[in-house]
Structure 1
Amino acid sequence: MFGLGPSELLIIAVIVLILFGAKRLPEIGKGLGGAIREFKNVKKDLADPIGELGKAPDTGSKKTAAEASAPKALEAKLTDAVIGQVPGVKRAMEVKDKAQKIKEILQ
């Protein structure tokens, strides 16, 4: 597993326990599990050849601007889902958004 032995994994586990504390570890694990689940769902959706409306996608036509921006929209949706699942990242993003709003007000 990435060239890590049992002693390295134990050291990493102790450091994580010290940083986050025993009470936060279940929340972080739940958040990471939800994020991994979301990644798997998105991967499965992208691999699915049937379109959203139940029709096979038209591969012969040129892509419209909306279809070209679909991967960006999907990336934004996935990012929001992951941020919503991991408690520490969600809080950091909220602080960042508040700081951005304050910065806009001051300008």
Structure 2
Amino acid sequence: MPNIGVPGLIIILIIALIVFGPAKLPQLGRAAGETLKEFKNSTKGIVDDVAVEFKLDDKDAEVKKKD
């Protein structure tokens, strides 16, 4: 995956400013931030669920070993 770097990021921001205008950029930034926050919360929930399942599987395996 190629690195964008600072010059590439500046070019992308300039193009976004031209396309969307200065009035829409704060709204777009806010929407992008909320989307990333929701994605992070969703993946955290999935990771937590998987971790709980693995802990349950480990406990079941220990119980079977004792029997």
TM-score interval (norm. to shorter):
0.5 to 0.7
Moved over 3 A (4+): none
Percent identity reads 38
Cross-structure match for 1:18: 18
Q: Within 5 A, what are the aligned runs for 1:68-87?
A: none
Larger RCO (CA within 8 A; separation ≥ 6)? 1
Tell me, what secondary structure is at the counterpart of 2:34? helix
- 1:3 paired residue number: 3
Aligned residue runs from structure 1 range 94-105, under 5 A: none
Structure with max Cα Rg: 2
Which residue number in structure 2 is paired with residue 37 of structure 1? Answer: 37
- Tell me which protein shows more helix as a share of its residues: 2
| Structure 2 residue ranges without an equivalent (≥5) | 57-67
> Aligned Cα RMSD in Å?
2.0
Q: CA deviation digits over 1:28-75, x for unaligned, max 9?
A: 11001000000111111111235xxxxx7xxxxxxxxxxxxxxxxxxx
1:5 corresponds to which letter in structure 2?
A: G
TM-score by length of 2: 0.62
Within 1, Cα distance between the matches of 2:48 and 2:3? 34
> What residue ranges of structure 1 are gaps of 5+ in the alignment?
51-55, 57-107
Instruction: State TM-score, norm by structure 1.
Output: 0.41
